[in-house]
Chain A
Amino acid sequence: MEKAAIVGIGQTKYERRKSGEIYYDLVYEVTTRAMEDAGYTLDDIGDVITVSNDFWDGRTISCMAVQEAAGAHDKNVSTVEGDGTLGALYGLMRVLGGSGTTLIVAHSKGSEGDPRVITNAMFDPVYHRSLGLDAVSSSALQASAYMSRYGVTEEQCALVSVKNHKNAKNNPFAQLPMDITVADVMKSRKIADPLKLLDCSPVSDGAAAIIIADEKHARKARKKPVWIKGAAHCADAYFLGDRNLAEAASLREAAKKAYAMAGIGNPAKEIDVAELYDAFGYMELMWLEGLGFCDPGGGAGMTESGKTAMGGPIPVNPSGGVLSAHAVLAAGLARIAEAVLQLRGEAGSRQVDGARTSLAHGINGPCGQSHCVWVLGKD
Chain B
Amino acid sequence: MASWLENEEILTRKGQIAMPYAWSVGEVGSRFLVGLRDEKRILGNRCDKCGATYVPPRKNCGVCFHDLPDDGWREVGPEGVVTSCTVVREDSPLAPAKAPFAYVIVKLDGADVGFMHVVRDNLEKLAVGVRVAARFREAREGSILDIDSFVIL
Give the B-binding residues of A (Cβ under 8 A).
19-20, 58, 116-117, 120, 125-134, 137-138, 140-145, 148, 189-195, 237, 239-242, 245
Complex alpha-carbon distance, A288 and B56, angstroms: 32
The answer to whether A137 and B62 touch (CB under 8 A), given A117-B94, A148-B128, is no
Counting CB contacts under 8 A, is B60 at the interface?
A: no
The answer to whether A131 and B88 touch (CB under 8 A), given A19-B12, A125-B23, is no
Complex alpha-carbon distance, A362 and B74, angstroms: 39
Contact among B33, B84, B95 with A245 in the assembled complex (CB-CB below 8 Å): B84
Contact among A126, A134, A144, A191 with B94 in the assembled complex (CB-CB below 8 Å): A134
The answer to whether A131 and B10 touch (CB under 8 A), given A116-B92, A144-B128, A192-B89, is no
Contact among B104, B115, B143 with A130 in the assembled complex (CB-CB below 8 Å): B143
B86 and A141 form a contact (CB under 8 A): yes
A241 and B113 form a contact (CB under 8 A): yes
Taking the nearest CB of chain B, how far is it from the CB of A275, in angstroms? 28
The answer to whether A128 and B89 touch (CB under 8 A), given A145-B83, A237-B62, A241-B105, is no
Complex contacts, A245 vs chain B, CB 8 Å? 83-84, 105
Taking the nearest CB of chain B, how far is it from the CB of A273, in angstroms? 32
Give the A-binding residues of B (Cβ under 8 A).
1, 5, 10, 12, 15, 17, 21, 23, 25, 29, 33, 54, 56, 62, 83-90, 92-96, 103-105, 113-118, 127-129, 143-145
A137 and B144 form a contact (CB under 8 A): no
A120 and B83 form a contact (CB under 8 A): no
Complex alpha-carbon distance, A137 and B95, angstroms: 11
B145 and A145 form a contact (CB under 8 A): no
Query: Which of B84, B96, B127, B128 has the largest count of A CB atoms less than 10 A from its CB?
Result: B84
Taking the nearest CB of chain A, how far is it from the CB of B99, in angstroms? 9
B86 and A137 form a contact (CB under 8 A): yes
B143 and A141 form a contact (CB under 8 A): no
Query: Which of A117, A193, A237 has the largest count of B CB atoms less than 10 A from its CB?
Result: A193
Complex alpha-carbon distance, A20 and B145, angstroms: 43
Contact among A148, A194, A239 with B113 in the assembled complex (CB-CB below 8 Å): A239
Complex contacts, B118 vs chain A, CB 8 Å? 131
Query: Which of B54, B114, B143 has the largest count of A CB atoms less than 10 A from its CB?
Result: B114
The answer to whether A137 and B84 touch (CB under 8 A), given A19-B10, A126-B144, A127-B56, is no
Complex contacts, A116 vs chain B, CB 8 Å? 92, 94
Complex contacts, A142 vs chain B, CB 8 Å? 84
Complex alpha-carbon distance, A332 and B92, angstroms: 28
Complex alpha-carbon distance, A65 and B62, angstroms: 37
Cross-chain pairs A/B with CB under 8 angstroms, 13 sampled:
A117-B93, A126-B25, A127-B29, A144-B84, A144-B85, A145-B105, A148-B127, A148-B128, A191-B89, A194-B86, A241-B105, A241-B114, A242-B62
Smallest Cβ-Cβ distance to A238: which chain B residue: B62
Extra pairs beyond A131-B118, A245-B105 (10, CB < 8 Å): A20-B1, A20-B5, A125-B23, A126-B23, A127-B29, A138-B103, A144-B84, A144-B86, A148-B129, A192-B87
